[in-house]
Amino acid sequence: MAEFKLHCFAQSGNSYKAALMLALSGADWEAVPVDFFNGQTRDPAWREAVNELGEAPVLEHGEKRLSQSGVILTYLSRRFAKFGPENEDEELEVLRWMFFDNHKFTNFLAIYRFMNSFMPQAPDPNVLKFLKGRVDAAYATVEKHLASQAFVAGPRLTIADISLAGYIFYPPEEMGFDIKQTHPHIDAWRERIKAMPGWVAPYELMPGERFMARR
C-alpha cells in the first residue's frame, strides 16, 4: 500500500500541483481517480466521505485528509523538507506568490480553459473576452518578474513555482494560447521545471484519458 493517496484527475491543474510535488519529492504515492466530468465531486456521498468542499485534489496520509492545493504543497514541503521556504523572508515571498496564483494566475486561466475547452455548451464570447483580459494581465506580471530571476520566489524551485505551474504544461489547444509563442520568460521557467528530476506531464502523471478540447 502506498504511503500517500491523491484523489485527482488528469484535466485538473490544481490536482497536478499536488501530483507534481509528490513526483518531484520521490514520494510513494498512488492516484485515486475522481470522475469529475460525471459529477462525482457534486455527489453528497463523495463529499461526506472525501471532501466536504466538493473539490479535488485531496491528499490522504495516515489519518490526515487534506484539501486545497496550497495546503497540500505546504504539508508535503514540510514532510519531505523539499521546496519549502528556508527563512521568514522566503516564507513570506512564497506565500505572496501562492496567494497571487490562487487569486489570479491559476484562477482566471482555469476558468477560461474550462469554459473555452470543456463546457458542453459554447460559452458567452463576452465572458471569454473578460477572462482572457484577466489571464493576460496575470501572465504579464509573472512574465516581467521572471525576466530577472530563475524561479518565482528566488534562485531555486519552491512550492510557489509548483503552485503557479499547475496549468502551464497543458496543450496549447486546451489553454487557448501558446505560452512558448507569447511569454518567453514563462516558457524558459517552464523548461527549468521540466528539467527537474521526477518531472512528469499532467496527462502522464494522473488518471483519466485526454479528450479533445471543444475548439
**Local mean pLDDT, 10-residue blocks, the chain (215 residues):** 96 97 98 94 96 97 97 98 96 98 96 89 92 96 98 97 97 90 97 98 89 54
Question: Which part of the chain has CATH 1.20.1050.10?
Answer: 88-194
Cell output for 13: 491543474
Contact between residue 94 and residue 176 where contact means Cβ atoms under 8 Å apart: no
Question: Which part of the chain has CATH 3.40.30.10?
Answer: 4-83
The β-bridge partners of 4 are 29, 61
CATH architecture of 88-194: Up-down Bundle (1.20)
Whole-number pLDDT of residue 127: 94
Decide yes or no: CATH 3.40.30.10 for domain 4-83.
yes
Prediction pTM value: 0.94
Give phi and psi for 180, each to the nearest 5: -60, -35
CA 101-14-168 angle, 5° bins: 65
3-state secondary structure of 66: strand
**Radius of gyration of the chain from Cα atoms?**
17
